[in-house]
Amino acid sequence: MFSNNILSSGHLRQSNIDPGQLKVFSSLQKDEERFSFVFTLAESHKFEINPGPAAVKDGDAAKGLKDAGNRAFQSGDNKSALALYNKSVLKTPWTNVASRNLSVSVANRSAALYHLKQYQLALDDIAFVSTLDYPLELSYKVLDRKARCLLAMNQLKDALEAFKATLKALDGAKLPDERRMKWQSDIQIMIAMLARNKELTNDPLPPSVTVLTHVSGGRNKNYESASAAVNVCRSEEMGRYAVAATDIKAGHTVVVEKAYCSVLLAEHRYTHCFHCFNRCPVIPYTFPLLVSYLCRETLCPINTLCPIDKSSKASLDCLAFQKLVAVVPCPHCCNVAFCSAACQQVALSTHHSVECPVLEVLWESGASVTCLMALRIMSQTNIRYFVDMREQLQQQEDAVYEPRVYQGSHYLSVYHLVRHHSHRSIDDWLQRTGMAVFLFRCLQVSGYFGENSSLSDHVLNQSFSGTHLNPDQLLVGGLLLRHLQSLQFNAHEISELQLGNKGEGKSVFLGGGLYPTLALFNHSCNPGVTRYFRGTSVVVRTVATHRQGEMLAENYGPIFTQEPRAHRQATLREQYHFECVCAPCRQDWPKFEDMNPGLLRFRCDSGDGCPQVLEVAAETDQFMLQCPTCRGYTNILKGLKTLQ
């Protein structure tokens, strides 16, 4: 979606740097030293940091969208009204004056949600309205809607109280007397009906938050996110790796872990919550879905068929394809959407308060998701945390990390992830350090170091004006470079399964996540576990039986069923710096398309843990096979019956 402006610019390559400077840089051993050196190079400051056009709120545009939503709502087109109200909410400024405009758009959206039978979302909007400057003379509308939503959800006790509040609010309504009396009469009837029941109750509501799966076999006392059936070993050749602490059957959940940090791809920022990646329940549309990507200026899909006026445009003026049913906006930008006030508040108190003014810059830079994750590790935590840990980090810089309890939620688990720093070329160091400088400058202009006090005061177009770094800045720069190294090998792609109209499924890449416990699992081209995601949390399950002591391996991408051994090993060598010695690589297993359908393969089941695979013709009449390795016998009759 965005051109790779920084990494393709070539500013920080050996050929562009003075040989004397290059010699000095090559001799540096510490990340802080490398960062400080590259920060002094003018080449690393040639990428200007400018705000993007879509970052600015627009009160006039927001009002126009709200009015269009009103027209759609009045015509009975609640889905289009909802889409237009959503965009109005995103575009509306959060100044004291504009707060009233925002409150009206949110209140109107709650009406569309009510008519679409999205009662809980309508109630969430009404609660949102109560925090804004909603006109007092209109409060009877949202209170009446609240009561009717509660009634539809069988929250009878709360509905009665809401109807009583509506009756009181009607006293301040600017309505013709006849209409006011009619409304009061209707409310009094509802109150009387509910009051007849002297034991009004509220029905239990479904949980508002998805409960994560628990690990099988109880929690591991040494690894907080893993099952007790998992152990972690260490060797010179394999580093840290997970093994089965006991026999584990297929289907067991061995890891459930929340992301230490996660970053959503820009193209999903209006279909998924920018903080938790969740999608609200989708209200389906009946028009063709021909989305290629979203226009950053209008927040709409490009090259799509517009559901409002049925024309194909290059830049649509609607959000009809939006998947988040009721977005909660950022108060400062219209670049992102949240699924709830809770996610908005967490994001604003952590990463988004720092990244908000530079999101457009980050997306336009072409920085990969792992680069943005390196920034997120820092932006989601106050600089004071890292400054207070400075001495501890310096003491443990290259030490073996063996805590009593390994916590994926603790920064030290992230700090000590493998970096393979001794395997890097000078060009790699230059480009990676240049990216660290760029990310550091984004932190500078966003006020991370305390230079600015508010978003509106940020100066986003700063030129290279000096090279002095104080100790705190140098610490952060060094940590950015360290994380750019470790994330190359330890970040995971967060994906979701999306179903098409015919029920076919495809995995869609949403963003990146860092899971320090899952990062301990080594690779196999025939993995023994699979992973899926709930929001930004990962669940890891076994897909095969594992004997005690057997490695629990996941897959880093190359898999034997789809790629030949030479291609897999070249990819792993280049991207992950290791030589794969898994069974498919040692034995050169064929791809699925190259397998002989007339040949059956059975695992040796002699009981001695033999890894040998036994081959036999499909038309065989034998049922006992002798293993050429351990000389034991395997009864294949049960397997043959299963295949039949």
**Domains contained in the chain, CATH given:** 14-47+261-285+321-491 (no CATH), 55-195 (1.25.40.10), 592-643 (no CATH)
- As to burial, measured by CB atoms within 10 angstroms (0-12 exposed, 13-18 middle, 19+ buried), residue 381 is middle
DSSP element (H, E) containing 22: helix 19-27
- As to burial, measured by CB atoms within 10 angstroms (0-12 exposed, 13-18 middle, 19+ buried), residue 534 is middle
Least Cα distance to 336 among 316, 358, 303 occurs for: 358
CA distance 105 to 573: 54
Contact of 163 with 187, CB cutoff 8 Å:
yes
Task: Transcribe 25-50 into DSSP letters.
Answer: HHH--SHHHHHHHHHT-GGGG-S---
In single-letter form, the type of residue at position 71 comes to R
Residues 6+ apart with CB under 8 A from 566: none
pLDDT at residue 18, rounded to an integer: 84
Helix, coil or strand: residue 369? helix
Q: Which two tokens stand for residue 20?
A: 């004397």
Describe the crossing of helices 139-152 and 156-169 by its angle, rounded to 10 degrees.
160
CA distance 604 to 613: 6
Contact of 230 with 245, CB cutoff 8 Å:
yes
CA angle 19, 20, 23 (to 5 degrees): 85
Strand partners, 554: 523
Q: Which two tokens stand for residue 451?
A: 């230079």
Write down the residue that tokens 């209409």 correspond to: 179
State the CB neighbour count (10 A cutoff) for residue 509: 13
Write down the residue that tokens 């920018």 correspond to: 274
Least Cα distance to 537 among 206, 256, 164 occurs for: 256
pLDDT at residue 500, rounded to an integer: 76
CA distance 93 to 53: 15
Q: Quick: pLDDT tens for 151-201.
A: 999 999 999 999 999 999 999 999 999 999 999 999 999 999 999 988 888
For the entire predicted model, the pTM comes to 0.85
State the CB neighbour count (10 A cutoff) for residue 531: 20
pLDDT at residue 204, rounded to an integer: 86
Residues of the chain with confidence (pLDDT) below 50: 1-4, 7-8, 10, 53, 281-322, 452-466
Residues 6+ apart with CB under 8 A from 46: 9, 11, 464
CA distance 25 to 571: 29
pLDDT at residue 465, rounded to an integer: 46
DSSP element (H, E) containing 312: strand 312-313
Contact of 523 with 572, CB cutoff 8 Å:
yes
CA distance 254 to 249: 11
Least Cα distance to 478 among 611, 402, 389, 350 occurs for: 389
